[in-house]
Structure 1
Amino acid sequence: MTIDKPAGSVFLVEDEAMIRMMVVDMLEELGFNVVAETGEINEAVKLAGTTDFDVAILDVNVNGKVISPVADVLKARNRPFIFATGYGTQGVPENYRDRPALQKPFQIESLKQALDSTLRGIA
């Protein structure tokens, strides 16, 4: 039996537990390995600075707090990330509007497209 190499590793920040579980399921179905996940901003900042991953998916609003401190850490580490937002691009922090954003709720096809383009450096 051969084991396929994962499509990549993901760090996920999402404060809604049910949504987080759904996204983890989608990522695993796409062949990604979720190496860290949290729904809490302070833990997300810590994980962003210490975890090794290929790409991060960040909920824009985590328990009423903007995700900018986590995005700042990822930008400083030169790690790619995608925003997930129910507010459209207007919900994305202004200085990060050049980054890819998934409109919630999203389908697995949209997630795959965002991941593929981000990991290829196109997004």
Structure 2
Amino acid sequence: MEADRSQPLRILLVEDEPLVAMAIEDSLETQNVGVVGPAATVAEALDLIAEGGIDAALLDVTLRGERVDSVADALSARDIPFVFTTGHGAAGLPRNHQDRPVLTKPFREIEMNDAIDRYFRGAV
């Protein structure tokens, strides 16, 4: 099945490293993706989720030393799909979300695009 890239996605980017966030944002924009954020703190991420208009999220596991469990819970409660981005492996994921997909940092642009197609656009 081919991914449908004709419809722009709005992806919440939750990342506290400015250079990493800029690189991801640049890559997303080339894939017909509107970037919401980036959110560098849990509070910013929760505010953006509350505003709505998000189709999916890329979610770093730790923001400035704070775990993103409440962000994952908020996304899940709204049935918004998300992929964790972390260098800590599956063991570092929030307990209630260990079954979620993970992009292991550092990841390549093609790996991110494949994850977006697979988990957000429904391509197999």
Tell me, yes or no, whether TM beats 0.5. yes
SS at match of 2:34: strand
Structure 1 runs, 4 residues or longer, greater than 3 Å off: 4-7, 120-123
Q: For residues 79-114 of structure 1, give each alpha carbon's deviation from its aligned partner in whole angstroms, at most 9, with x where no partner exists.
A: 111100011111211211111110011111110111
Pairing 1:64–2:62 present:
no
Partner of 2:109: 108
SS at match of 2:88: coil
SS at match of 2:23: helix
Pairing 1:73–2:39 present:
no
Higher RCO structure (Cα 8 Å, ≥6 apart): 2
1:75 offset after TM fit, Å?
A: 0.7
TM-score between both structures, scaled by the size of structure 2: 0.88
Partner of 2:27: 26
1:29 offset after TM fit, Å?
A: 1.6
TM-score between both structures, scaled by the size of structure 1: 0.88
Aligned residue identity for 1:117: R
1:5 offset after TM fit, Å?
A: 4.4
> Any gaps of 5 or more consecutive residues in structure 1?
none
Quick one: distance in 1 between partners of 2:84 and 2:43? 17
The answer on whether the counterparts of 1:57 and 1:83 sit within 8 Å (CA) in structure 2 is yes
Quick one: distance in 2 between partners of 1:62 and 1:122? 30
Q: For residues 43-90 of structure 1, give each alpha carbon's deviation from its aligned partner in whole angstroms, at most 9, with x where no partner exists.
A: 111112222121101110100111111111111111111100011111
SS at match of 2:79: coil
Aligned pairs for 1:47-62 (under 5 A) are 47-62=48-63
The answer on whether the counterparts of 1:7 and 1:32 sit within 8 Å (CA) in structure 2 is yes
Partner of 1:8: 9
User: Aligned-pair RMSD on alpha carbons?
Assistant: 1.9
SS at match of 1:82: strand
> Any gaps of 5 or more consecutive residues in structure 2?
none
